Amino acid sequence: MTGPSFTYGNGYPQMKATVATSATPAAAPAGDDLIRETSTRDFMKDVIDASVDTPVLVDFWAEWCGPCKQLTPILEKVVRAGKGRVKLVKMNIDNHPEVAGQLGIRSIPAVIAFKGGQPVDGFMGAVPESQIQTFIDKIAGPGGPSEIDVLVAEGDAAAEAGDLAEASKLYAAALRLEPAHFGATVGLAGVYVTAGEFAQAEQFLTTLPATAAGDPRVAAVRARIALANLSSAVDDVLALEARLDKDPADHQARFDLALALAGKDHRQAAVDHLIEIIRRDRAWQEDGARKQLLQFFEAWGPKDPATLSGRRRLSSVLFA
């Protein structure tokens, strides 16, 4: 690569530990999902974790640096023009010197590209726009969706439509082209969960890097596995409904019924029962109904109709 040398081996894990434990205040986003400021504390989330899915360019700069002020607007322009091929994270080294020091950066402006949770390339100085574009093309590949991106997108669509066989075929094709592809791996794990093959789903999740553990898609798959395991352990729906008919205040029966209904994909009914427990007795089982409801939302995803309506109803009950 051109520019600063990276510290691999012992240096990189040490950087991760520092990032995770620093108490530096969080920086505010720069106004969109492609460009943001970061801090030492948020470097793990904004750069390491984010780069598992999309390459991230880190612009190390300072207020006193004239060339930095020339480079940053050009970087922002090219990144926005890329429409999501890469993200840009800016770090003021005067306010947050730890990461730059551990990467061995001794001159700014310096731009380091992270991909898959690791620093992979970089450059120094206020280079022209054409050179930045060439650098991004090298990191992210040629413009436009790649063959793998198309396969994964089609797999996602097939999975959402319930065509598990087609989704599995498309994800597998993507993994043949790139065996460690994050989206295809998570997608295939989700297919196995839907099919009830939890051991296979877990096996795929274990192939992901440790930095992917906090990704919402991974968390959703794990929540679905946990929910399925809970649902399979409860009593028959009819027996639980009979218990509630005799005693509507039987919160345990209502809670178990919600799990059973969720396991059968009767999502709205499951939400109804947990909301009813919260309405009757918020403190029951140490706020257990609300906690389980949040697990439902995580498993179903933020855009699911049951999640959207459930969040609104939960807020109305809690803050009425």
Q: Is the peptide bond before 109 cis (omega within 30 degrees of 0)?
A: yes
Q: Which amino acid is at 258?
A: A
- Return the closest-CA partner of residue 136 out of 67, 73, 37, 55: 55
Mean pLDDT, to the nearest integer, of 271-288? Answer: 94
Q: What is the dihedral of CA 132, 136, 139, 144, to 10 degrees?
A: -160
Residues 59-91 have pLDDT tens digits of: 999 999 999 999 999 999 889 888 788 999 999
Do 53 and 107 form a contact (C-beta atoms < 8 A)? no
pTM, 2 dp? 0.45
Do 41 and 22 form a contact (C-beta atoms < 8 A)? yes
Residues 96-112 have pLDDT tens digits of: 999 998 888 889 999 99
Residue 46 DSSP class: I
Which residues are designated catalytic? 65, 68
Q: Which long-range contacts (CB under 8 A, 24 or more apart) does 281-289 make?
A: 281/251, 282/318, 284/251, 285/251, 285/255, 288/255, 289/251, 289/255, 289/258
Residues 13-23 have pLDDT tens digits of: 334 433 433 33
Q: Is 161 helix (H, G, I), strand (E, B) or coil?
A: coil
For Cα atoms 296, 300, 306, give the angle at the middle one, nearest 5 degrees.
Answer: 80
Residues 156-182 have pLDDT tens digits of: 999 988 899 999 999 999 999 888 788
Give the chain's end-to-end CA distance (angstroms, integer): 59
Query: 125: buried, middle or exposed (CB in 10 Å: 19+, 13-18, 0-12)?
Result: middle
Residues 197-230 have pLDDT tens digits of: 888 888 888 888 777 777 788 888 888 888 877 7
Distance between CA atoms of residues 167 and 142, nearest Å:
26
pLDDT of residue 5 exceeding 50, the answer is: no
Question: 241-269 burial by CB neighbour count: b if 16+ within 10 A, else e?
Answer: eebbeeeeeebebbbbbbbbbbbeebbeb
Do 271 and 306 form a contact (C-beta atoms < 8 A)? yes
Q: Is 56 helix (H, G, I), strand (E, B) or coil?
A: strand
Kindly report the backbone phi and psi dihedral angles of residue 110, in degrees, each rounded to the nearest multiple of 5, phi listed first. Answer: -135, 135
Do 211 and 117 form a contact (C-beta atoms < 8 A)? yes
Confidence band of 32 (pLDDT split at 50, 70, 90): low
pLDDT of residue 11 exceeding 60, the answer is: no
For Cα atoms 156, 157, 163, give the angle at the middle one, nearest 5 degrees.
Answer: 95
Q: Is 57 helix (H, G, I), strand (E, B) or coil?
A: strand
Distance between CA atoms of residues 284 and 286, nearest Å:
5
- Return the closest-CA partner of residue 274 out of 236, 303, 235, 317: 317
| Rounded alpha-carbon distances, angstroms, from residue 130 to 70, 78, 125, 177, 286 | 14, 9, 14, 29, 59
Residue showing tokens 């750069």: 47
For Cα atoms 5, 17, 25, give the angle at the middle one, nearest 5 degrees.
Answer: 100
